Chains A and B, each alone.
Chain A
Amino acid sequence: MSTVSYHRPASVAEAARLLAGNHDARLLAGGQSMLPSVRLGLLAPTAFIDLAGIPELQRIRADAKAISIGAMATHAAVAESREVQAQIPALAQVASGIGDRQVRNRGTIGGSLANSDPASDYPAAALGLGATIHTNSRALAADEFFKGLFETALKPGEIISAVSLPVPDRAAYVKFLQPASRFALVGVFVAQFGKTVRVAVTGAGACAFRVKALEDALAKNFAPQSCDGVVVAATRLNSDIHGSAEYRAHLIPVLTRRAVLQALG
């Protein structure tokens, strides 16, 4: 039987040292994706480096322009944060709709972003808000962070420390549930910053992505009807028993419209 070593560093620097010394080690954040994968035999790390013992990774700090959320802040902590609720209520809504209560009490924003699950919610929010993802070595714009299916711009040994999310004028997230898992079959995050609008989609592609046609239409007029008639190509979208690429493509403007309505509401 395999044995796994467990480490609980007290600082990011110590975590980085442990990680550098063991290529088969994995960082453990909330474990809500990692541990099921291990149980299913899809992953077999030789060591877990648990980030739960690093207090600075759990902090949520806000100023007028942005909210900085520590990588180890749980979904529940983000959902319940007064700063988040006051400044980016759409982000609190995203967090409160992830998984179930148990998942929200364990799962973290850093873990979710690093995992880049094609159907997870946070990537849409991070991309939609134009977040900056801070690691132990650099700062990455969300636009360059999500690279593909479970694939990010993170390099081996790199550890997310915090996510900085600009405060929009208005924003909303609409999640269309896959009937069985209740992950996002398609989720659309819409945010307006002055004359700029960002529309980020999760669930529909290999990873979260933006839809320029909708952004352009909404930048001209941030109103639900601006989404009408915008056609999203089904090419390279996900297709499975719960929805074809065409269905997902169809849902993107439909859900964007609803998100705009909600943002204006």
Chain B
Amino acid sequence: MNASRTSLIGRSVERKEDYRFITGAGQYTDDISLPQQSYACFVRSPHAHARIRAIETAAAHAAPGVLAIFTGKDFAAIGGLPCGWLITSMDGTPMKEPKHPVIAEDVVRHVGDQVAIVIADSLAEAKAAAALIEVDYDVLPAVVDTATAARNATAIHSVAPDNICYTWAIGDAAAVDAAFAKAAHVTRLSFINNRLIPNAIEPRAANALYARGDDSYTLYVTSQNPHVERLLMTAFVLGLPEHKVRVVAPDVGGGFGSKIYLYAEECALVWASKRVGRPIKWTAERSESFLTDAHGRDHVTTAELALDKDGKFLALRVDTTANMGAYLSTFASCIPTILYATLLAGQYATPQIYCRVQAVFTNTAPVDAYRGAGRPEATYVLERIVELAARELKIDPVELRRRNFIRTFPYATPVALTYDTGDYEATLKRVLEIADVKGFSARKAASAAKGLLRGIGYSCYIEACGIAPSNIAGALGARAGLYEAGEVRVHPTGKVTVFTGSHSHGQGHETTFAQVVAQMLGIGLDDVDIQHGDTAKVLFGVGTYGSRSLAVGGSAIVKAVDKVIAKGKKIAAHLLEAGDSDIEFVNGEFRVVGTDRKKAFAEVAFAAYVPHNYPLDKLEPGLNENAFYDPTNFTFPAGSYVCEAEVDPSTGVVRIDRFAACDDFGNVVNPMIVEGQVHGGLAQGIGQALREGCAYNSDGQLVTGSFTDYAMPRADDLPQFVVETARGTPCTHNPLGVKGCGEAVAIGSPPAVINAIVDALAGLGVRDVAMPATPYRVWQTIQAAKR
């Protein structure tokens, strides 16, 4: 790439999309109302597990404004919601894939499971009619607890009588056993990775329209990946022709993974829109979001780390039970396996790693990817046990990490990944400086003088993102490709519209991607528009998740721009009466090398569309190029975090006093946007560590069903962050050298927080604090240590 003096790459340009968002001109799904709009309300199960004896809808049918009511019987003939990743158990059998019906047929399996859809002229009428539907339930025992689900006598699905979806493993068990046998020290820890509820600021919503004139459907939906949504819905659920369904994901207010999946509601709406003959809109109420958005995390894990006498890691053994919830969500199966166990090497040259994962069904909402998706859980395992091992061996935790860092690249881990590049010492060294670790002991003494316990905690994380090489993913069970598509459409005036299969729901692609294209073409930022989120505009898309947008989606755009430039050179060569190979493209100009003869980009674009003086015998008119980019490897952002926490032992209150982060994201296009991602990731990571914990009671009722009981982090829970992006080690295998930053910080930060709290309480004999470390829980931990 040409990096000229005024490079747009690496500049914190203000976000192009912010004018519309700040002025309220964003168009979200719920903002879209269509002629003859009707509204849907879903009747949901109040029980976690029950057989439906009967559904009485007569009174609701007679209610004012009601257009239609459909129940599971109406949907019985169509497909269930598919799972996009096949995991094969250790015994060679495929995972259990019970049908995930769009509307429950005879059994409801979690509170909030949809039982009926009521469609009416107005939302109020739909809700009023829904309240008149009487469902006769035969309540069944609920399976709720992750750890014991496989031993529960109640089966949630007949195809999985022991509630086990799969039992999967990675690594060489015998080699790990052998390493443990000769270990000088073994550190063991059991813990729970707390279940989280996503809570994007915009709840899920959909609006489906059937057009009788051409037998086509349009679905507006809160989706991170509209093409995948369309493919799954048409091919696997509704049996509709893919080309007759247009899916639009307009402005979307946050996803964090929860809007990747194909959900029942939008399938029901599309299906019903033809029967009702009017567009149908549904927007989740927040309480519905709590009950039905796919949740995240929910692991129960035992980990063991074997070390030699010098503190070198010999082997890691991990056993995890992962909760899938009541049904397999779109990518649920790959999260605690492919995206989890493969991360367990972290930044360390641990020679042997074995991980066994049992995935279980429970009568809870489906669990799927949530910012980080498997990788936060893995990082938590590793960074907690490394810190605990340091404490047990009385080795400084920074020193123990250093002794085990991977220092030569590429590095093949024992759990299937090959890191292309990294410099873990660099980010660690820098974070120790910006965190002022040297000043910690003085601050600890100052806290102690106030009766407060101060602790310091570290986390050195890696993550695998830029998901993913399709062939590798396919070999691991993916049922989809994981490339990305891009199109660069140059207009006759030299202005450019870019169509990307990535989807922005807060990430700022309209700015970042435009920076890349404008820089490459030597044109202004305002000369480039980024379009996304509409299957009718964008040729194809795999979507945004797994910190893949710039690394994969951006790379596809770079490839397309390269093609534009290549064609432009041929056009310019003709115009300048030079050979193709004599043309260079520099700062927006096609030049004959070594001369002052040149054509501006816009002149070449104009010639392409007004081809009067043009090599029509050799070259098509027009300047419009597509590209698909399939990465050859994952990308591996990494970084080091330091958290300082102050614990009030009389109340259990934890205050994060300082948090310093130094990340290596490879090359950075817009530092401001990256810093925003770091801040957001820290808020989410600290939220998981201190505040957020989804709780079901033993009947499967969601106790944390609203913000009254589910604690989201707030600004005053957070310190002034000290963050820095390292100069970094650019990714070696994508054209931009970028690694991705969307998930990294939510992955790396929770263990730093808990390590700090454990350090603060270590003097009391505490060796672990469970997440979320709420005041009550920390107080309980202190009381237990005193006993």
Shortest CB-to-CB span from B387 to chain A, Å, is 25
- A1 close to B125 (CB less than 8 A): yes
Asked if A244 and B776 sit within 8 Å, CB to CB, the answer is: yes
Question: Using an 8 Å CB-CB cutoff, how does the interface string of B751-787 with A read, 1 for contact, 0 for none?
Answer: 0000000000000000000000011100110000000
| A179 proximal to B (CB < 8 A) | yes
Which listed residue (B651, B695, B704) contacts A251, Cβ 8 A? B651
Closest to A39 in B: B285
Near A by CB (< 8 A), chain B positions 672-701 give: 691, 695
Contact of A181 among B703, B709, B779, B780 (CB under 8 A): B709
Q: Which of A180, A241, A244, A250 contacts B707 (CB 8 A)?
A: A180
A180–B651 Cα distance when bound, in Å, is 17
Distance in Å: Cβ of A98 to nearest Cβ of chain B = 15
Cβ of A48 < 8 Å from any Cβ of B? no
The residue in B64, B704, B775, B780 that gathers the most chain A C-beta atoms within 10 A of its C-beta is: B775
Q: Are A242 and B779 in contact (CB under 8 A)?
A: no
B775 touching A179, Cβ below 8 Å: yes
- Please encode chain A, from 240 to 257, with 1 for each CB lying within 8 Å of some chain B CB and 0 for all others: 111110010011001000
Nearest-CB distance from B132 to chain A (Å)?
11
Q: Do the beta carbons of B779 and A241 come within 8 Å of each other?
A: no
**Chain B residues in 8 Å Cβ range of A241:** 695, 703-704, 709
Would you call A180 and B709 a contact (CB within 8 A)?
A: yes
What residues on A are CB-neighbors of B774 within 8 Å? 179, 242
Minimum CB–CB distance for B122 against chain A, Å: 9
A247 and B779 within 8 A (CB): yes
Given A1-B125, A181-B709, A254 and B651 touching (CB < 8 A)? yes
Q: Is B581 an interface residue (CB 8 A)?
A: no
Q: Are A242 and B776 in contact (CB under 8 A)?
A: yes
Collect the chain A residues with CB atoms within 8 Å of residue B710's CB: 180
Contacts of B704 in A (CB 8 A): 180, 241
B178 at the A interface (CB under 8 A): no
- Min CB gap B478→A, angstroms: 37
B residues near A179, Cβ cutoff 8 Å: 691, 711, 774-775
How long is the Cα–Cα vector from A1 to B63 in the complex, in angstroms?
9
User: Given that A247-B776, A247-B779 are contacting pairs, would A242 and B651 also be in contact in the complex, using a CB cutoff of 8 Å?
Assistant: no
B412 located at the interface, meaning its Cβ lies under 8 Å from any Cβ of chain A in the complex: no
CB contacts (< 8 Å) of A250 on chain B: these are 779
Most chain B CB within 10 A, of A179, A244, A254, is at: A179
Within 8 A of B (CB), among A173-207: 176, 179-181
Answer yes or no: B124 CB below 8 A from chain A CBs.
yes
Complex Cα distance A243/B64, Å? 46
How far is B714's CA from A181's CA once the two chains are assembled, in angstroms? 11
Which A residue's beta carbon lies closest to that of B690?
A179
Task: Give B410 Cβ to nearest chain A Cβ, in Å.
Answer: 44
Q: How far is the CA of A181 from the CA of B704 in the complex (A)?
A: 11
B158 at the interface (CB under 8 A from A): no
Nearest A residue to B711, CB-CB: A180
Once the chains are docked, how many angstroms separate the CA of A71 from the CA of B591? 81
What residues of A have a CB within 8 angstroms of the CB of B613 in the complex?
A: none
Cβ of B780: which chain A residues have Cβ within 8 Å of it?
A: 247
Interface flag for B595 (CB, 8 Å): no
Residue of B nearest to A180 (CB): B711
Point out the residues of chain B lying under 8 angstroms from A254, CB to CB: 650-651
Residues in chain A near residue B186, CB distance under 8 A: none
**B93 close to chain A: CB less than 8 A:** no
- How many residues in A have their beta carbons less than 8 Å from beta carbons of B? 14
Q: Mask for A147-188, Cβ within 8 A of B = 1, else 0?
A: 000000000000000000000000000001001110000000
> How many A-B pairs with Cβ below 8 Å?
39
Q: Quick check: B775 and A180 within 8 Å, CB to CB? A: no
Is there a chain A Cβ closer than 8 Å to B434's Cβ? no
B36 contacts partner chain A, Cβ-Cβ < 8 Å: no
CA–CA, A5 to B493, complex, Å? 63
Chain B positions 645 through 670: 1 when the CB is less than 8 Å from some CB of chain A, otherwise 0: 00000110000000000000000000
How many angstroms between the C-alpha atoms of A176 and B774 in the bound complex?
12
Minimum C-beta distance from A261 to chain B (A): 12
Contacts of B775 in A (CB 8 A): 176, 179, 243
Docked Cα-Cα span, A4 to B589, in Å, equals: 71
Q: Is B23 in the interface zone, CB < 8 Å from A? A: no
A2 and chain B: residue at smallest CB distance: B128
Q: Which of A180, A241, A242, A251 has the most CB of B within 10 A?
A: A180
Distance in Å from the Cβ of A161 to the closest Cβ of chain B? 31
Near B by CB (< 8 A), chain A positions 225-265 give 240-244, 247, 250-251, 254
B708 at interface (Cβ–Cβ under 8 A)? yes
> What 1/0 mask marks residues of chain A from 119 to 149 whose CB sits below 8 Å from any chain B CB?
0000000000000000000000000000000
Alpha-carbon distance between A176 and B776 when the two chains are bound, in angstroms: 11
**Set of chain B residues within 8 Å of A251, measured between Cβ atoms:** 651
In the assembled complex, the Cα of A254 lies from the Cα of B652 at a distance in Å of 12
Write the chain B residue with the least CB distance to A41.
B131
Question: In whole angstroms, how far apart are the Cα atoms of A1 and B127 in the complex?
Answer: 9
CB distance from B377 to the nearest CB of A (A): 22
Cβ A180 vs Cβ B708 within 8 A: yes
Give the residue name and chain of the B residue nearest to A183 (CB): B708
CA distance in complex: A147, B348 (Å): 61
CA distance A250 to B786 in the complex (A): 15
Instruction: State the Cβ distance, A57 to closest chain B Cβ, in Å.
Output: 29
The listed residue (B651, B695, B709, B712) touching A176 by CB distance below 8 A is B651
Shortest beta-carbon distance from B447 to chain A in Å: 17
- A241 and B695 CA atoms in complex are apart in Å by 8
Contact with A along B111-133 (1 / 0, CB 8 A): 00000000000001100100000
* Chain B residues near A244 (CB-CB < 8 A): 776
Q: In the complex, what distance in Å separates the CA atom of A176 from the CA atom of B648?
A: 13
Contact B708 A181, beta carbon cutoff 8 Å: yes
Residue of A nearest to B122 (CB): A1
Question: How many angstroms between the C-alpha atoms of A251 and B708 in the bound complex?
Answer: 21
The 8 Å CB contact of A1, one of B124, B695, B712, B776, is B124
- From A246, which residue of chain B is reached at the shortest CB distance? B783
CA–CA, A180 to B711, complex, Å?
4
> Nearest chain-A residue to B717 (Cβ)?
A179
Nearest residue (CB) in A for B712 is A180
Enumerate chain B residues within 8 angstroms of A181, measured Cβ to Cβ: 707-709
The residue in chain A whose Cβ has the minimal distance to the Cβ of B63 is A1
Q: Report the separation of the CA atoms of residues A243 and B711 in the bound assembly, to the nearest whole angstrom.
A: 14
Q: Which residues of A contact B651 (CB under 8 A)?
A: 176, 251, 254
Min distance, Cβ B742 to any Cβ of chain A, angstroms: 26
Q: From residue A117, how far is it (CB to closest CB) to chain B in Å?
A: 12
Per the bound structure, the CA–CA distance linking A1 and B64 in Å amounts to 9
Given contacts A247-B776, A251-B651, contact A242 B709 (CB under 8 A): yes
Task: Give, as a whole number of angstroms, the nearest-CB distance from B263 to chain A.
Answer: 24
Q: A254's closest neighbor in chain B, by CB?
A: B650
Q: Once the chains are docked, how many angstroms separate the CA of A181 from the CA of B709?
A: 6
User: Given the complex of chains A and B, what is the CA–CA distance between A176 and B779 in angstroms?
Assistant: 14
Given contacts A179-B691, A180-B708, A181-B707, contact A243 B776 (CB under 8 A): yes
**How far apart sit A241 and B650, CA to CA, in the bound complex (Å)?**
19
State in angstroms the CA–CA spacing of A164 and B707 once bound together.
Answer: 34
C-alpha gap A240/B709 in the complex (Å)? 10
A224 to chain B, nearest CB (A): 12
What is the CB-to-nearest-CB distance from A174 to chain B, in angstroms, rounded to a whole number? 11
Across-interface contacts of A176 in B (CB, < 8 A):
651, 775
Interface centre among A240, A244, A247 (most CB of B within 10 A): A247
Give A119's nearest chain B residue, CB to CB. Answer: B708
- In the complex, what distance in Å separates the CA atom of A179 from the CA atom of B710? 8
Distance in angstroms from B527 CB to nearest chain A CB is: 43
A179→B651 CA distance, assembly (Å): 13
B residues in contact with A242, CB < 8 Å:
709, 774, 776
**Which residues on A are within 8 Å of B, measured CB to CB?**
1, 176, 179-181, 240-244, 247, 250-251, 254
5 contacts between A and B (CB under 8 A): A1-B125, A180-B707, A240-B709, A241-B695, A244-B776
Q: Which 6 A-B pairs have CB atoms at the shortest separation, nearest pair first?
A: A180-B711, A179-B711, A243-B776, A181-B708, A1-B128, A254-B650
Known: A1-B64, A176-B775, A241-B709. 12 other contacts (CB 8 A): A1-B125, A1-B128, A179-B711, A179-B775, A180-B691, A180-B704, A241-B703, A242-B709, A242-B776, A247-B780, A250-B779, A254-B651
